[in-house]
Structure 1
Amino acid sequence: MDTGRANGRVPGLGDHLGAAQPEADDLAARLLRAALGGRDRGRISLVGLCKNAGKTVTLNRLIRAAAAQGLALGLLSTGRDGEAVDAVTELPKPPIWVPEGALVATAAAALKPEEGAALERGERGEIGALDGRGARDRIGVRDRDRAGEAERARVRVLRETGITTPLGPVVIGRVERAGEVLLVGPGSAARIAALLDALEEAGARVCLVDGSLDRRAAAAPAVTGQAILAAGAAYSASLESTVAQVRYLLELFDLPEAPPEVQERVSESPPAVFLLPPEGPPVPVPVASALSDPGAVAEAAAGAPAGSVLCLRGALTDGLLLALLARRCAHVPILVPDATHVLVDRTAWRRWRRQGGQVWVERRIVIAAVTTNPYSPVGPGYDAAAFCARVAEVAGRPVVDLVAGIAHNLP
């Protein structure tokens, strides 16, 4: 497997242009079927273990697979994806390629031929077709179309959504000419859900949401129901450290749902932090959040009746776990909305688990599969086969290298 950067090439950059190996195409099709559970419709988030984990290459391969199967595709991002150079790391990134007929939800400015251009409208007030380039200049990134490297997608805007981003309002559009596209979307889970609804109303049957390390909320079950995790050598120079982080994240996503008798007693609009005793109504903990005063939360948990559950509407952090451990409260189960609310490092988590601590979720997030990328743009990479095999040992689900054409546990 070529993991070099000859001539500035990002491995996988040519995938969207038809350079994919047949076996890799077959793996992508099987991965898509597995993630959809054999259905021909669904919502899937893609989240990365870190930046440069191979998430965009995974997205492009899934787009290619969906197009080959004739599935009506909808695409959106929980931030900004598809730029030529990462806005944070300044490293080159693979573009996002979209086929003709696909639907996209993105900021109108990302589709305009020039910065600041108003939405073009045709006769009778209909929104006209916009050429998908120009927003790269807005964010200080070179427009590859102007350099002649690749053709930008042409997208006809179908309607506005009323949802805004830093690059302006989000629109729903249909791709009239295949090519590269810049996806810009909101970070709010509720707004992402609204855009998914809009894409499906426009005809999309398979919706792919491009998330990132800081946007794991895109994998929340209320939004997509399931996700694919991209793991890459960019996380660490140590293969074992990267595998350990994959194992940890999957452990979080696999947290069990709370028992039905607990779920039934949780109010839809509870306080930020409350204790659920074995009998009687919930008991609010008088803090703005668990983050603001973890000591007070631990104090309340220590004094709660045996069999109580500590319920959080916000994040579970290191500070709260350590405060609970200091008060010997590992016997008190913690309930959070879903795994994206667990923001704890591995060390604190292991201490909690070693002392018998439990964490339950109201809704499980399904990580359908893991993709591996042995290449790192910031340091040494790994052997592709060894990395994929090692992740498969801890994942307990399909693990695929879509560039090298390697798969484990894939139906």
Structure 2
Amino acid sequence: MQLLDLIKEQYKIISIIGMSKNAGKTTTLNEIISEAYEEDIPIGISSIGRDGESLDIVTETEKPKIWVSENTYVATAQSLLLLSDANVEIMMTTNYRTPLGEVVIGKVRSAGYIQLAGPQTLKEMKKVSEDMLNLGAKFVIIDGSLDRKSQAAPAISDATILATGAAISRDLNRVVEETLHTISLLRLKKVENKYENILKSLLEESTIAIVDEDFKIERLKYKTALGMGREISEHIKENSRYLLIPGSLVKSTISELLSSTHHYKNLTIAVSDGTKIFIPPKDYLHFLRMGLKLEVVYPINLIGVTVNPYSPYGYYFEPEELLKKMKSYIKDIPVIDIMIGG
């Protein structure tokens, strides 16, 4: 199966997110670019964060470069075009600023390597993606960066591909465990329909809030849930049905909540989407056994997983073994090793 088979004629904006740095996002992106070129399909690409440089400035390990074919649309900081050997014609400017300069949208006139640094907010990335579609791209791929899973938010992409692999750990079982955990978070179910509009409007306010069974809302004054679990628990009552956390949800907040009130058993915690949850696998399972309920306002459409058996840190897994083990647990969406197929 090709990655292009998961995308074409089905989705317009697709995000690639990684389990860790060097998990294979850029390799996945390059494969999609190559497959689209073979079928003469013009696509658009951009990145939240910088990508495409040959050396990782954090880990000082080599990175795969981003190769773009003719007629590919790119959204990147204008200064990075000077560092690329692809010939890119600027089609429009955006007025979106990054530390590397203004983001421009260009069309590749001759193939080569390129560096990407796209808009820094979800709203700007959504607009840039729509601009590339209007210019002629059949679909747009958004490439992520370290710990920036926010680009999977449905506010920008209508489908997501998860990249995972050996870079997570030297322990194959841990790689599988972490991947399955991330998949479970990305695929959390949507909030009840009758509460959906209320929770969406509260999300736009970026307000921590509690909604009871009669749809009454209590907006809390706390700017963040971090370190405020006990204080938030004081507002939870027997008839409370949803606690909305608009930002990140972490282990310590859940621990404080569950230890401070017994009313949580009637309550569901809602977050924007599964990328906002940062709870280790074993703790997550423990919280579920205690009765924790989590739902999302915007569910994520995960359409595939790519696996990379090689780590830049000098070790690797047998490719067939990694692929087989992942497939034994992930049965309802495709799992693909780009290097060996399947």
TM-score (norm 1): 0.79
Counterpart CA distance in 1 for 2:304 and 2:11 is: 17
Aligned twin of 2:267: 332
Alpha-carbon distance change, 345 to 187 in structure 1, aligned in 2, over 3 angstroms: farther
Residue 172 (structure 1) aligns with: 105
* 2-structure distance, mates of 1:213, 1:245: 16
Q: How many residues align?
A: 337
CA deviation after TM superposition for structure 1 residue 278, in Å: 0.3
**In 2: Cα distance, 1:80 partner to 1:318 partner:** 29
Matches within 5 A, 1:22-101: 27=1, 30-34=2-6, 36=7, 39=9, 42-101=12-71
Partners of 1:375 and 1:271 in 2: how far apart? Answer: 40
Separation in structure 2 between the aligned mates of residue 77 and residue 47 of structure 1, nearest angstrom: 11
> What residue in structure 2 maps to residue 365 of structure 1?
300
**What is the distance in 1 between the residues matched to 2:98 and 2:292?**
40
Partner of 2:320: 385
TM-score, reference length from structure 2: 0.94
Counterpart in 1 of 2:340? 404
Q: Distance in 2 between matches of 1:218 and 1:357?
A: 26
Greater C-alpha Rg: 1
| Helix, strand or coil at the partner of 1:212 | coil
For 1:131-210, list aligned pairs within 5 A: 132-133=83-84, 152-210=85-143
1:12-31 equivalences under 5 Å are 27=1, 30-31=2-3
Q: Greater CA deviation, 390-399 or 56-65?
A: 390-399
Distance 1:67 1:184 in 2: 22
Write the distance in 1 (CA, Å) between the matches of 2:200 and 2:44. Answer: 34
* Deviation, structure 1 residue 267: 5.3
Q: Determine the C-alpha separation between the residues in 2 that align with 1:58 and 1:224.
A: 16
Q: Give RMSD over aligned pairs.
A: 1.6
> 1:368–1:56: structure 2 CA closer, same or farther, 3 Å change rule?
same
Matched letter for residue 174 of structure 2:
S
Summarize the Cα distance change of 1:87–1:355 in structure 2 as closer, same or farther, 3 Å threshold.
same
Shift of 1:196: 0.5
Residue of structure 1 equivalent to 2:173: 240
Does structure 2 retain, via aligned residues, the 8 Å contact 1:331–1:357?
Answer: no
Distance 1:156 1:215 in 2: 29
Q: For residue 252 of structure 1, what is the aligned residue in structure 2?
A: 185
What secondary structure, in the 3-state scheme, does the structure 2 residue paired with 1:46 have?
Answer: strand
Q: How much has 1:184 moved relative to structure 2? A: 1.1
Output the amino acid matched with 1:256: K
State the partner residue of 2:194.
261
Percentage of pairs with the same residue? 31
CA–CA separation in structure 1 for the residues paired with 2:231 and 2:182: 28
CA distance in 1 between partners of 2:200 and 2:291 (Å): 27
Please, which runs of 5 or more residues in structure 2 have no aligned partner? none
1:311 match: secondary structure: strand
C-alpha distance in structure 2 between counterparts of 1:266 and 1:347, whole Å: 29
Matched residues in 1 for 2:325 and 2:4: separation?
22
